[in-house]
Amino acid sequence: MALIVQKYGGTSVGSIDRIKNVARRVAHFHKQGHQLVVVVSAMSGETNRLLALAKELSANPSPRELDVVAATGEQVTIGLLAIALHELGIGARSYTGGQVRVLTDNAHTKARILTIDETPMRRDLARGTVVIVAGFQGVDAEGNITTLGRGGSDTSGVALAAALKADECQIYTDVDGVYTTDPRIVPEARRLSSVTFEEMLEMASLGSKVLQIRSVEFAGKYKVKLRVLSSLDEPESTAPGTLITFEEDDTMEQAIISGIAFNRDEAKISVMGVPDKPGIAAAILGPVADANVDVDMIVQNIGSSEHTDFSFTVHRNEYQRALDLLAEQRKKGLAAREIIGDSRICKVSVIGIGMRSHVGIASKMFKTLADEGINIQMISTSEIKISVVIDEKYLELAVRVLHRAFELDKESA
């Protein structure tokens, strides 16, 4: 008998029929004798509907009141799921974030969880009652309703699992695990039975949006065993999903490369011929950061002895704004021969914790792309990933050939 926290997202509870499906799945685990805490999101579309009402009233609504409105989405789902479980003869009680004292800071719309009161949940679990908790929400020290921001229900699930020292936190989504890459691009893409925390972080931030990145960090911090599974399969025949591990010396076989991630939404800006002297990076990126434009890759190329070229990528939506900011800087005295940009690029990354101890991954990646005539515009590396910026038209081709080159379609030996 295990204590399992299950989290179901908006799509999984998006209709009455789907809520019934979730209830059947919960009942399936309950009948096996497990103690269950179920965290749910708002029915899909509901949070957007609620926020749209607020936006109709104000372009800049009060974050405190936005949270009051938005938190109702999850509250509806917990009550409905409890009723659905009762229909199956299973004892269940719903709790809002406030009712289990998911205490957060007071950063409305993006609050962080501080503590959770496990007492009422323990009491219910001891009686065999399924505990249902509204994800995404909490209360601050003064009793104000807070929300954790988009995707916050994943974080709620992980935080509850940490507080209750659950044996496993199962995140149900519309995919049945983490894949070596996007199966829509590479049909041979394979589901990973496990992936390390660090790899998962890279996958998430690179666009494999299976889990919300903050929840994965949270799981890592509290060593919560996290599993991604599909809520679309029948309860009795659900694939085991992907386990996210936090220990490198795990007994399981570790592949060198675990996946190919990619991101279409990037744009590249190069500031050419700037003086090669201390402080130049700060002079270029400072105003961009001050304007809250997120910068992803940063590469400084070696230029002539006195001048250098400086490149970085931003989200495509912020491309024009970043260009404008730099033009302004130039007027204000930033010495640069030329500022050029390209919004038709993409980023492709090879990710694997195993590459730390394996040489030759980078050269294999570069050669594979070169063999297809794909020009690499920027390169950036970390201990467990290598990212390249290429022309966006080559995205699918690059992902396919890299997937094959690193034999990701085959089970690791």
Nearest distance in Å: CB 194, a second copy: 36
Q: Residues 137, 66: contact at Cβ < 8 Å?
A: no
Collapsing DSSP to helix, strand or coil, 271 comes out as strand
Q: Are strands 345-351 and 385-391 parallel, antiparallel or unpaired?
A: antiparallel
Cα 228 from Cα 223, distance rounded (Å): 15
Stretch that binds a second copy, among 89-97, 185-193, 359-367, 391-399 (CB under 8 A): 89-97
Per-residue contact flags (x/-) with a second copy for residues 97 to 116, judged by CB under 8 A: -xx-----------------
Q: Which is nearer to a second copy, 77 or 173 (CB)?
A: 77
Cα 134 from Cα 38, distance rounded (Å): 9
Nearest distance in Å: CB 81, a second copy: 9
Binding to a second copy in span 367-406, by CB under 8 A: none
CA angle 169, 107, 74 (to 5 degrees): 45
Among residues 4, 13, 78, 334, which is the contact residue for a second copy, using CB under 8 A?
Answer: 78
Q: How does DSSP classify residue 375? A: P
Cα 191 from Cα 176, distance rounded (Å): 8
Q: Is 61 near a second copy (CB under 8 A)? A: yes
Binding to a second copy in span 10-39, by CB under 8 A: 16, 19-20
Nearest distance in Å: CB 293, a second copy: 28
Q: Residues 19, 13: contact at Cβ < 8 Å?
A: yes
Stretch that binds a second copy, among 80-88, 186-194, 285-293, 357-365 (CB under 8 A): 80-88
Cα 165 from Cα 161, distance rounded (Å): 6
Question: Which helix or strand (DSSP H or E) is residue 79 part of?
Answer: helix 72-87
Binding to a second copy in span 139-168, by CB under 8 A: 143-145
Q: If 0-12 CB within 10 Å is exposed, 13-18 middle and 19+ buried, where does residue 118 land?
A: middle
Cα 170 from Cα 226, distance rounded (Å): 6
Among residues 79, 235, 275, 287, which is the contact residue for a second copy, using CB under 8 A?
Answer: 79
Nearest distance in Å: CB 65, a second copy: 4
Q: Is 50 near a second copy (CB under 8 A)? A: yes
The footprint of a second copy (CB under 8 A) covers 16, 19-20, 50, 53-54, 56-58, 61-62, 64-69, 71-73, 75-76, 78-80, 82-84, 86-87, 93-94, 96, 98-99, 143-145
